[in-house]
Amino acid sequence: QKVSVEVLHHLEHLALVDFRDSEGVERLQKAIQFADQLHEVNTDGVEPMDSVLEDRCLYLREDDVTEGNCTKELLKNAREKVEEYFVAPPGNIPLPKLEEQDTFLQGS
């Protein structure tokens, strides 16, 4: 199953991922093929689940603070930060419009 240029462009904007090389497109096509296998599963009469642990009780632990005041130390791990916040994903900038980018699938 081939991925159209328009679908590729839409996915790039949703995921902020650049698929301009053959490896990226190949990985995406393999992921789609894997997900398509779910259509083969017969789910007639199967009720949706609220949780994967529907038959068990979930026990909550006490929320005990054991450390604190480590903001500066944690922010040292950030590639980019604004004030006291991580910038995620790093370098989050809009991708160029479809007409402006040199996509691997362009012309196919």
The 10s digit of each residue's pLDDT in 85-98 is 887 764 556 666 66
Q: Which residue type, as a one-letter code, is found at position 22?
A: S
pLDDT band at 44 (very low <50, low <70, confident <90, very high): very high
The interaxial angle of helices 22-36 and 5-15, nearest 10 deg, is 90
Whether the predicted pLDDT of 46 surpasses 80 = yes
Please list the residues that pair with 82 across neighbouring strands. Answer: 85
Does this model's pTM top 0.75? Answer: no
Whether the predicted pLDDT of 105 surpasses 80 = no
Confidence (pLDDT) at 96: 64
Residue 91 is given by DSSP the state T
Lowest mean pLDDT among 53-62, 71-80, 81-90, 99-108: 99-108
| Spatial CA neighbour of 29 closest among 14, 50, 7 | 7
| Spatial CA neighbour of 28 closest among 62, 44, 5 | 5
- Decide: 38 and 73 in contact? Cβ < 8 Å: no
Please list the residues that pair with 85 across neighbouring strands. Answer: 82
Whether the predicted pLDDT of 60 surpasses 70 = yes
